[in-house]
Structure 1
Amino acid sequence: MTIWTPTLSGRGPLYRQLLEALRSAIQNGELSAGSRLPTHRALADRLGVTVGTITRAYHEAEQCGLITARVGSGSYVRDAEQSSSHVWHLRQEKPGRIELWQNLPVALDRSAAFRDAILALSQESDCINGLMEYDSADGNFEQRHCFADWLQRHEIDASAERLFFNYGAQNGLLLAVMMLGLSGQALLCEGLTYPGLMTLAQTLKLQLRGLPMDAEGIIPDALDKACQDGLFRAIYLIPTLQNPTTAVMSTARREAILAICARHQLWVIEDDVHGLLPADRPPAMVNLAPERVIYLGSFSKGTSAGLRIGYMLVPLSLHTAAQQAIRATSWMVSPLLIELACRWMQGGEADALLRQQRQQLAQRAERLQYHLGHFALRYAPGSMHAWLELPEQWRAASFIAAAEAEGIGLAGAELFAAGHFNAPQAVRLSISHPLDMASLEQALTTLASLLESSGPQASLL
């Protein structure tokens, strides 16, 4: 533990003075990345202030991204280079390196589908000129009707009246938080969840409360108890192919969760970006409770990430709030990009690309099971990733470092831990990230060898 006694400025509330002293110490190098901070009690005694003052200052510092808290371990200065807010591994060829870090769609050739759509549009001058104008926050009704029809074909109970466009599900998540007025408030979620939520939480000062999970996701009793213990207005869930655990809620579990949410008047933000990837799945939560659920979907995972087109199904009671949130952030979503997506839906290209994605993922999943199926591996059909609980001899940090030394990038459980949720010794493996099957095969072979070794020291021999 670092022996650090800050000098307070004497100006403003004590917790703010401590926050600024902490920020200054990190910036000038007095506290280096990874340094463990004094405990709340120790620093309170040293400064002659209450423990509550230290707790509030540490909480604010964590929200600002200065430190990270680990359950049972303490608070540490965050490494900005390794922060989940900064690390972003795109599909770039780096000799000798293979990424299993990011849930990118398997690389497909979309050039013909794009060329055909653009060529057809180029011959419709009136249509193009209309798409080049401003549009309302609601979006064009015909385009909304096209998306709703397509979603209906994929068993999502959509209607043009409840559908809004956005620039991908991350933008949709921001809009959902805005329309519910959650900035600075508490938000329930799975204990292990989508890292983009943590990035958003830091920016909007959301207080995340991660709840215990089992093989199906959120445990109903844990949700009910949390609602009894505190005041919450919303919960964020990934019920299909949960990120990172791959859990899929059964219909019975979805109904139980929704019943608890109704009893406690809790809004549900359903993240279904992976929902169209499995050929079979339970009904979306929005189908079961359309007036309680804000449904987030995206074109990114199954069809094309580059279009940046997402969609929301919003309860009618939140229609005005959705319009205001869109106007406040982007005024509208590009009608031209939406039109390209519509053309792909109407011409069958969207479904063809989705089928190709499913086929490629199935092939990769077969190799995943071949190499790692005898370990504590969790995978659900259609998923872009798998969840690997590490054997006893490995800690997540050591395993990630050993894989890094072999040129393989992994995402550790701590990246997904919401709030102060205790991260297990596990890693997520994004089988969709490698550019080709040969690269994936090489990475899985290497990981299997590491897992079968006696631990960190053996991996260095």
Structure 2
Amino acid sequence: MTSWVPDIALLRRPAYLSLADQFSRAIQEGKLQNGTRLPTHRKLADELQLSVQTVSRAYEELIRRGLVTGEVGRGSFVQTRPREPDPPYLPERLGELIDLSILKPVCEQLHVEKMRQAFAWLAETLPASSALSFRPNTVFPRHRNVAVEWLSRCGLAVSPLHVNLTNGATSAMTVALMSVAPPGSTVATEAISHHTLVPLSSYLGIHLQGLPIDDDGMIPDALDEACRKGVIRAVFLQPSVINPTATLMSAERRGALAEVARRHDMAIIENDILGPLVEGRPPPVAALAPERTLYVTSFTKITVPGLRIGYLVAPDRYAAAVANRHLVSNWMATPSIAEIATRWVSDGTALELVNWQRRALAARQRIAADALGGLAYRSHPQSLHAWLPLPEGHQEDAFVSQARLRGVAIAPGASFRTADSGWRPAVRISLGSTTEEELKTGLGIVASLALGDPEALLLAI
């Protein structure tokens, strides 16, 4: 048991957050060591003349921050050792909270009906091979041919032999990394990148090197310098709006990065899950360097979240590695979902939903412009989110905590950070994950916090 106790004179409202903040500082300053057993809820409540409920909520907040672990029957203990990273989004929507943390397309009853109709069709027409076969080459030849049609809408001309069906983009990303970067190697990416890339690289034993970016994405000279200083096996790029800052990389920048990759003979992994949703975009990097680019696209963010299917295009030099690693990590994509995706591409439903999504996002972007107009936020007409660098003086954790206290969940920018230099606190705000009315309310709360006094937020916690 520790001899350190919080100072009741420093408590501010809400008391439970202020109490949790005192514990956080004590842990960070080393006053509470890893493994220290904290006072029981009732003992601390009596000492501080607080309610047991207030202390319980403070301990729950410390657990949420990853600073304390609670063990039934044993008590609460300080936890300062590395732990599994939290996702930037809520694992589930809680109560009346407006959830702007998870990146989703705009969805209405139309999308539910489309899926119901698709499953009704599937019940009548499911091929025997999709139900009975364990062999991807038996199940997917027709699907690969149709995938080529969709990939042409993404700006790629490829052979069906280079297409792999996966259970969405995360599966494709995992297979791509495993195929080009063995354990112990280094992969470069933007300083602000995909939120799963950091933990995924760690699990695969890959070193991730975040490189400087500007308003056009990764800086080619920074990639070239990194390659000259050490061996970079691959570069992971998100050039078309899906990146956290909603940047649409120019054709010139894509070409320059492709040239650096070619000069140093490294692989490129291109995450392009918005595909044809983004109008007027330059050709994919994969079209500029097809001999070394593993290209990822999928349907979950542009049609219906439940259509968890993706395409991973691999050049000849990586085709065998991709096939083998996909077999051992996933075996093959889910045939029934692949059947629906193939039908939707063939009969025009997929493109219909993409066009619907584009119109829906235009309305969401107008709402964001009205609510965030006084702030220097970043977005794009076909972006599912907005990136809000916080005004001077704001601390990211305090901002996110206060937004949640006021009923709005947003994703902390640190979840997407891969490099420390040049970092500025920010938040990512999903525009498609809730109704238009809730979005207006949620964005209004975020804007009021951003335009308010940052010191008041710190005092509030």
The TM-score, its normalising length taken from structure 1, stands at 0.79
Question: Shift in Å at residue 112 of structure 1?
Answer: 3.0
Question: Shift in Å at residue 131 of structure 1?
Answer: 1.2
Asked whether 1:89 is paired with 2:90, we answer yes
| Map of 1:132 onto structure 2 | 131
Question: Shift in Å at residue 460 of structure 1?
Answer: 6.7
| Map of 2:13 onto structure 1 | none
Residue type at the aligned position of 1:122: A
- 2:196 is paired with a residue of what secondary structure? helix
Q: Deviations over 1:36-88 (max 9, x none)?
A: 488xxxxxxxxxxxxxxxxxxxxxxxxxxx99xxxxxxxx93685xx644564
Distance 1:421 1:200, change over 3 A: farther
Residue type at the aligned position of 2:230: G
Map 1:273-312 to 2 at 5 A.
273-312=273-312
- 2:193 is paired with a residue of what secondary structure? coil
Residue type at the aligned position of 1:334: T
| Map of 2:62 onto structure 1 | none
| Map of 1:77 onto structure 2 | 80
- 1:255 is paired with a residue of what secondary structure? helix
Q: Percent same amino acid at aligned positions?
A: 31
Question: Shift in Å at residue 201 of structure 1?
Answer: 1.6
| Map of 1:335 onto structure 2 | 335
| Map of 1:44 onto structure 2 | none
* C-alpha separation in 1, matches of 2:371 and 2:24: 39
Distance 1:86 1:391, change over 3 A: closer
CA contact under 8 A between 2:397 and 2:412: conserved in structure 1? yes
| Map of 2:368 onto structure 1 | 368
| Map of 1:271 onto structure 2 | 271
Q: Which runs of 5+ in 1 are unaligned?
A: 1-30, 39-65, 68-75
Q: Deviations over 1:317-363 (max 9, x none)?
A: 21111110111112222222111111111122111111121111111
Distance 1:419 1:328, change over 3 A: farther
| Map of 2:206 onto structure 1 | 206
Residue type at the aligned position of 1:155: G
| Map of 2:113 onto structure 1 | 112
| Map of 1:103 onto structure 2 | 103
Asked whether 1:317 is paired with 2:317, we answer yes
| Map of 1:442 onto structure 2 | 441
CA contact under 8 A between 2:107 and 2:304: conserved in structure 1? no
RMSD of aligned C-alpha atoms? 2.7
Distance 1:364 1:34, change over 3 A: farther
- 1:161 is paired with a residue of what secondary structure? helix
Distance 1:249 1:300, change over 3 A: same
Distance 1:121 1:401, change over 3 A: closer
Q: Deviations over 1:255-283 (max 9, x none)?
A: 00000110000100000012332222111
* C-alpha separation in 1, matches of 2:413 and 2:116: 41
| Map of 1:71 onto structure 2 | none
Q: How many residues align?
A: 392
* C-alpha separation in 1, matches of 2:397 and 2:123: 52
Residue type at the aligned position of 2:329: T
- 2:127 is paired with a residue of what secondary structure? helix
CA contact under 8 A between 1:399 and 1:456: conserved in structure 2? no
Distance 1:210 1:450, change over 3 A: same
* C-alpha separation in 1, matches of 2:27 and 2:236: 32
Residue type at the aligned position of 1:110: H
CA contact under 8 A between 2:184 and 2:205: conserved in structure 1? yes
Map 1:243-282 to 2 at 5 A.
243-282=243-282
Distance 1:243 1:330, change over 3 A: same
- 2:236 is paired with a residue of what secondary structure? strand
* C-alpha separation in 1, matches of 2:332 and 2:166: 8
| Map of 1:159 onto structure 2 | 159
* C-alpha separation in 2, matches of 1:336 and 1:327: 18
CA contact under 8 A between 2:299 and 2:310: conserved in structure 1? yes
| Map of 2:60 onto structure 1 | none
* C-alpha separation in 2, matches of 1:321 and 1:37: 47
The TM-score, its normalising length taken from structure 2, stands at 0.79
